[in-house]
Amino acid sequence: MEEPPLRVLACGDVEGRLETLFGRVRAIQSKSGRFDMLLCVGDFFSSTSDAEWAEYRSGAKKAPIPTFVLGANNQETMHCFPHVTGCELAENITYLGRRGLFSGTSGLQIAYLSGTESQDESTPAYSFSSKDVTELKSSLLSTPNFKGVDILLTSPWPRGVESFASSPGEIDTKKCGSSLISDLAASLKPRYHFAALEKAYYERLPYRNHTVLQETPQHVTRFIALAEVGNTGKKKYLYAFSILPMSLMDPAELVKQPQDVTENPYRKLRKGAQKTKVLGCAEEETACQFFFDLNKHQGKKRPSDGKDRGSSQTKQAKKPPQPTGPCWFCLASPEVEKHLVVSIGTHCYLALAKGGLLPDHVLILPIGHYQSVVDLSLEVMEEVTKYKSALKEFFRSKGKRYVLFERNYKSQHLQLQVIPVPLNYTSEDIKECFITQAQEQQIELLEIPEHSDITQVVQPGTPYFYVELDTGEKLFHRIRGSFPLQFGRAVLASRALLALPQRSDWRSCTAARPEEAAQASAFRRDFQPFDFTLRD
């Protein structure tokens, strides 16, 4: 029988307002059912809260839910925490301690660090130092098969947490917060990280804990800062959520990436802590902005046997030309329609076409910025070929064959359009259809000789239109003047082939985002057995 998820409440600075807090908790539980625990970050006590606290300490009143709190953040409240290693302060109220890992019978792992970052050489009892952070990290990272923790509790915000996300408003995290907390969060990879002290509510977009194309996909982190209890501005100070311990989750479910995931805000810290092997300029740029990850390895670096090493290294070091403006297809660009991506290799990726002619109309695209096939490096071209082979197998399994075309004209990023047609159409049928419709528009479409490649007939920078069948047969047109932008799609949509003339223009075929996402999910699932990037 599957374990039900734990229902958890997290709270910001209580500042001694116990009646306000627990009254609100009771109201939530009467309306939504019982929660398993309450986690409090920030200042739990204040210098004037002794009278209210005395009723709980004496047992006259009791917290309605098991409550776990962090330690003092100032000298004035130090006396409220008698034992530095943690203790029960009152019935149902537990001080976790200065630093450590709390793990209940459920298996939920909660890492915690009390206090504020020390600004002095000698660390006060209400502060933490780099030594505290290092020891906490070491104790957890040395655990066999450590993947991260479920929850991280700190009082200060991590410095720079807003990087790659929206601003937290009046809070400047470049000046406030703790860089040691940033380092801790980057290392412990919590699924949830709660903080307070700034009297503000801020829920950051989830961020990834791996480098795209270089590391195995991992779970995301959600950072939530909470305001103080009973604040007059009615800012959120209680956060309710359900969580299944990481140890009980299906690995594929654990690493699923939400659509709004961002790059890790502590990426520079992580780069300094790890010796990451660079896979090329395009991949490194991708790591800055990429938006979507699959649930397994995103592909493997091509093994080298040492042959042709000189030429290979030269090509890897060569940086692709950069776009002159926003590019809808560079993987590093925030303009990319992230929900349409269905597979990621080392140098290329696969995405559903927006406004596709068919639901399984896909694009093969280079990760870096290349304008056309003839501009591609050897490594990128090899992976394009792998995707072609995988798509051929995939579509043949469905009783189809693909037609691929490229238009290197009025476009700045290579798009290889791949559209399936029924298998009963022969190569001759498809070629005849293209050639006939080309002649009707005074377009000279020539067949490239067998065993020849497009790079042998055209130089980089030359405008052209190019068709390739899954048999390897190719048609080519050198563009010298104007050219109909929808030509390739219109031929395939014509009554001679797919009989979908109403869909010859992609702009009339766009769907709502949820429908597009559902189509991408379905394609990704069906394509998985053929996707070479997922093979060990």
Q: What angle do CA 44, 47, 53 make, to 5 degrees?
A: 60
Whole-number Å distance between alpha carbons of 82 and 54:
15
Question: Would you state the pLDDT for residue 76?
Answer: 92
Q: What is the DSSP string of 205-229?
A: PPEESS-TTTS----EEEEEE---T
The alpha carbon of 68 is separated from its chain's Cα centroid by a whole number of angstroms, namely 31
CA angle (291 as vertex; 286, 295 as ends), nearest 5: 100
* Measured distance CA(213)–CA(293) in Å, rounded: 9
**Which segments of 398-533 does DSSP mark as H helices, in order?**
427-440, 487-493, 513-527
Q: Which residues are bridge partners to 446 per DSSP? A: 476
Closest residue by Cα to residue 160 from 174, 172, 176, 180: 174
**Is the alpha carbon torsion for 363, 369, 372, 378 positive or negative?**
negative
* DSSP SS3 for 380: helix
pLDDT of 270 reads: 53
CA atoms within 13 Å, Cβ hemisphere of 306 = 0
pLDDT of residue 293: 31
Q: Which of 286, 419, 270 shows the shortest CA–CA distance to 359?
A: 419
Helices (H), 84-190: 130-141, 179-188
How far CA 17 is from CA of 47, 93, 286, in Å, comes to: 12, 14, 47
Q: What is the pLDDT of residue 286?
A: 31
In angstroms, the CA 492 to CA 324 distance is: 32
What's the average pLDDT block by block, 10 residues per block, for the chain (536 residues)?
87 96 97 96 88 90 96 93 90 95 90 92 87 94 92 96 85 83 96 97 94 81 97 96 94 90 79 39 31 33 37 41 62 76 93 94 92 91 95 96 95 93 93 92 84 78 93 92 94 93 89 92 95 83
Burial of 291 (0-12, 13-18, 19+ CB in 10 A): buried
Helical axes 378-397 vs 309-317, angle rounded to 10°: 90
Instruction: Report the predicted TM-score, pTM, of the whole model to 2 decimal places.
Output: 0.54
Query: What is the model's pLDDT at position 303?
Result: 38
Copy the structure tokens of residue 348: 């290329």
Q: Which of 362, 314, 320, 371 is nearest to 341 (CA)?
A: 362
- What is the distance between the alpha carbons of residues 29 and 36, in angstroms, rounded to a whole number? 10
**Residue 91 Rama label (left phi>0; alpha psi -120 to 50; beta):** beta
Report the chain's terminal Cα–Cα distance, integer Å: 31
**Cα 39 off chain centre by:** 27
Measuring CA to CA, which residue among 351, 250, 246 is closest to residue 291?
Answer: 351
- Which amino acid is located at 243 in the chain? I
Give the amino acid at 131.
K
Beta strands in 155-200 (DSSP E): 192-195
pLDDT on residue 320: 54
> Helices 378-397 & 513-527, crossing angle to 10 degrees?
90
Can you tell me the distance from the alpha carbon of 29 to that of 65, in angstroms, rounded to the nearest whole number? 10
Q: Which run of H or E residues covers position 50?
A: helix 50-57
Length of the chain: 536
Contact assessment for residue 84 and residue 98, using Cβ atoms and an 8 Å cutoff: yes
- Tokens linked to 507: 């702009």
User: Alpha-carbon distance 195 to 179, whole Å?
Assistant: 14
- DSSP character for 45? -
Q: What is the pLDDT of residue 338?
A: 82
Residues 6+ apart with CB under 8 A from 472: 450
Tell me, letter by letter, the H, E, C secondary structure of 302-353: CCCCCCCHHHHHHHHHCCCCCCCCCCCCCCCCCCCCHHHEEEECCCEEEEEC
Nearest to 293 by CA among 211, 416, 386: 211
DSSP 64-114: SS-EEE---SSGGGGGG---TT-EEEETTEEE--SEEEEE-TT--EEEEE-
pLDDT given for residue 269 in this prediction: 60
